[in-house]
Structure 1
Amino acid sequence: MSVTLAIALSALAMTIIIGVRYLLASAGFALATRIKHPGLYAGQDRQMRREIIWSLASAAIYGVPAGIVAWGWQNRGWTLIYADVNAYPLWYLPLSVFFYLFAHDAWFYWTHRWMHRPRPFRIAHAVHHASRPPTAWAAMSFHPIEAITGAVVIPSLVFAIPIHIGALALVLTIMTVMGVTNHMGWEMFPRSVHGGRLGGWLITASHHQRHHAEYRCNYGLYFRFWDRLCGTDKGLGTFDLPGDPKDGRGGAGVRDAGRRGGTGRA
């Protein structure tokens, strides 16, 4: 088998894996939403179909660099991914996970903030914000340009920061779960978490909901560090939940912000 064909097959395999991972995660949390908050996604069938189409297209884009890196790791030893847990001290395992999450969060914050400038928003990021309000299917609903900016992060980091294959799997799991749950329209964590000291530094659905409601704030992915440092952290948002006595505040904010546009500079 030629190298080119082997790499192409690796990219195809990674595309399938990423697509299936997205479908399973989003379907699981969409089902949880249906059980926990029946009717929350009522009237959004067309939007959800659009989110799935864009997300599967993004999976194909994510699969290309991932497939190239996977082939290079297995066949050429290109990366710093290691399989022997004793290759580095055990204390490095959790530290490497934090390094990856922090680096990914920094890249996401600045590219995400850039995409809220008028031209990039109009060309690319508007696809993601067309979900009004977002659902559990919206996590990878990106224009190809935005998908490319996200697809290169982890494949680039494996050339710079050593990581055990198991720790890398944990990073990818966290990335998937947070991407889905931050868009599903309700908070799965208790108030003691998202409204407490831990929630002051970690991003959950309540924090990201406000970004979709107001556009020009809360740009982070995992941590609130960059938002706090740069003055773009505007606190937690609210949700438009069926039967909630506060019904109307969170969801209405999302819809109204969507109509206004939100292409102004951060």
Structure 2
Amino acid sequence: MLGAIILSVLAMTAIVSVRYLAASGLFAFVTNRVRPGYHAKLGTQIRKEIGWSLASAAIYGIPAGVVAWGWQALGWTRIYTEWDAYPLWYLPVAPMLYLLAHDSWFYWTHRLMHRPVWFRTMHAVHHASRPPTAWAAMSFHPWEALTGAVVIPALVFLIPIHVAMLGMVLLVMTVMGVTNHMGWEMFPKWLVHSRLGGWLITASHHQRHHEEYKCNYGLYFRIWDRLCGTDRGLSPNA
């Protein structure tokens, strides 16, 4: 049993690592084409971002691997594979519940990590990326990585979700995590400045967090930032 768990952890670590390298590499390539020179003189920073991110991938892989093994071997979790196990209307509801729950957790843990002691101990690693790049998506101190690594493994015990919809959640996590750190806005202005865009977090919103630190703490949505008065809008530099 222990051997199977270790293999599952190693497999999940490899998957998270490859997912990070592929997604960040792709959007870093796009950045070099759209913003030539953006990465100039950032070689040392980027190498550190990749190093911290791969360490974070290992931390994410541990709970993910244990839970994946438990799901397959012992029927843990509320992940299901039959399309008719729940009403079809529930398929898109589950990912939204996951994203809202993750966003809430992230907002409050992120805001906590901006308190001086927590910032110096953990979060300063992430903010060492000045300016942030696509490679900074998982550039966290191990303790900070741990706060993010437990969210989805915990949610699969609480909220039923089809395995394909769980894949959709992971895709959104990956794309938003990378694109929010590119330093430039990839989404069209008509969306970013629309009524819907006013509730979504994209690069121009998160860029302002990296510029001013004490604002714009959300991950996917601006709900908590607006409710708590920490939303300062979009950065003019993204």
Aligned to 1:179: 177
Could you say what secondary structure the match of 2:136 adopts?
coil
Could you say what secondary structure the match of 2:84 adopts?
helix
1:8 aligns with 2:16: no
Which one has a bigger Cα radius of gyration? Answer: 1
Q: Distance in 2 between matches of 1:79 and 1:190?
A: 38
Q: Out of 114, 122, 125, which is 2:112 matched to?
A: 114
Q: Distance in 2 between matches of 1:198 and 1:42?
A: 34
Query: CA offsets, 1:173-195, max 9 Å, x none?
Result: 00000000000011001111112
Aligned to 1:62: 60
Aligned to 1:228: 226
- State the shift of 1:160 in Å: 0.2
Runs of 4+ in 1 over 2 A off after TM superposition: none
The one-letter amino acid of 1:139's match is A
Query: CA offsets, 1:84-110, max 9 Å, x none?
Result: 011001110100010000000000000
Q: Out of 154, 157, 161, which is 2:155 matched to?
A: 157
The one-letter amino acid of 1:74's match is Q
Q: Out of 204, 207, 216, which is 2:205 matched to?
A: 207
Structure 1 unmatched ranges of 5 or more: 240-249, 251-266
Could you say what secondary structure the match of 2:220 adopts?
coil
Aligned to 2:87: 89
Q: Distance in 2 between matches of 1:187 and 1:198?
A: 16
Structure 2 unmatched ranges of 5 or more: none
Q: Distance in 2 between matches of 1:198 and 1:219?
A: 18
1:100-111 paired onto structure 2 within 5 Å: 100-111=98-109
Please say if residues 116 and 216 of structure 1, whose CA atoms lie closer than 8 Å, have aligned partners that are also in contact: yes
Please say if residues 61 and 144 of structure 1, whose CA atoms lie closer than 8 Å, have aligned partners that are also in contact: yes
Q: Distance in 2 between matches of 1:84 and 1:30?
A: 37
Query: CA offsets, 1:188-228, max 9 Å, x none?
Result: 01111112211110000000000000000000000000000
Q: Distance in 2 between matches of 1:82 and 1:200?
A: 34
1:124 aligns with 2:122: yes
Q: Distance in 2 between matches of 1:107 and 1:174?
A: 16
The root-mean-square deviation of aligned C-alpha atoms, in Å, is 0.6
- State the shift of 1:238 in Å: 2.4
Query: CA offsets, 1:16-48, max 9 Å, x none?
Result: 000000000000000001111111111101000
The one-letter amino acid of 1:191's match is K
- Return the TM-score normalized by structure 2: 0.99
- Percent identity between matched residues is 70
The one-letter amino acid of 1:142's match is F
The one-letter amino acid of 1:180's match is V
Could you say what secondary structure the match of 1:137 adopts?
helix
1:41-60 paired onto structure 2 within 5 Å: 41-60=39-58
The one-letter amino acid of 2:83's match is V
Query: CA offsets, 1:70-95, max 9 Å, x none?
Result: 00000100100000011001110100
Please say if residues 209 and 238 of structure 1, whose CA atoms lie closer than 8 Å, have aligned partners that are also in contact: no
Aligned to 2:143: 145
The one-letter amino acid of 1:218's match is N
